[in-house]
Amino acid sequence: MTFEQDKKRILEKIGKADKPDKSFKGSIDKQILPLINLINSKKNYYTTSSCAGRIIFVRTIKKKEPNAFLFMTHEKTSFDEIKNALKKIKNKEVWFKQEPCILHVCCKTIKDAQDLVNKAKLSGWKKSAIIASSRRVVCELLSTEVISLPLVKNKLLVDDNYIKILVKEANFNLEKVGKKIEKFYLLVSSNK
């Protein structure tokens, strides 16, 4: 299959933000959708997966499964929202995570991939790299804003003051992620 055929096939599957996709959320995050649309409009690129960054509670599990996520938001959150979510948790071990934006982009050539990685790194997406195989060239573009810690181990491990600090830091990180998405959008749209 040619790059163009593969791009057409994948983009037909991805569809629009209001169409369900294979992610646990079921749709593309609105914060990253303009960037995805821009990249997909370029002839030498197409996206295969994305996340605009998120705050989650996740059960400790051996493999990915849909019910592993006990709380998830791709927006800034509040102390009250987190406390309400914690009241519903019945699991013995739960982690709090704030994860960065991530984007996978298929590229027509290694040069195209390197150009995109360079723009991502200039935008602050420091953990960006090229993954090449005999079938295709993919960029994994990843920012670095991360918080990951145990929250529940048979009981809540932290007090309200600590939760307030977590919420503040996680929200701050999501703001930084949003700015990096905007900066990357500007660099990709500049065609330099």
For 117-165, the pLDDT digits (tens) are 999 999 999 999 999 888 899 999 999 999 999 999 989 999 999 999 9
State the residue for tokens 């003051």: 161
Q: Which helix (H) or strand (E) holds 107?
A: strand 102-107
- Strands across the sheet with 93-99, in order? 69-73, 54-59, 93-99, 147-153
Looking at residue 17, what is its pLDDT? 45
Q: What is the CATH number of the domain that holds 147?
A: 3.30.1960.10
The answer to whether residue 96 scores a pLDDT higher than 70 is yes
Query: Comparing 67 with 172, which gets the higher pLDDT?
Result: 172
Phi, psi (deg, nearest 5) at residue 29: -65, 130
Residue with the bigger pLDDT between 27 and 105: it is 105
Entry pTM: 0.86
* 176: containing domain: 3-190
In angstroms, the CA 155 to CA 90 distance is 10
Total domains present in the chain = 1
Alpha helices in 15-151 (DSSP H): 33-41, 79-87, 110-122
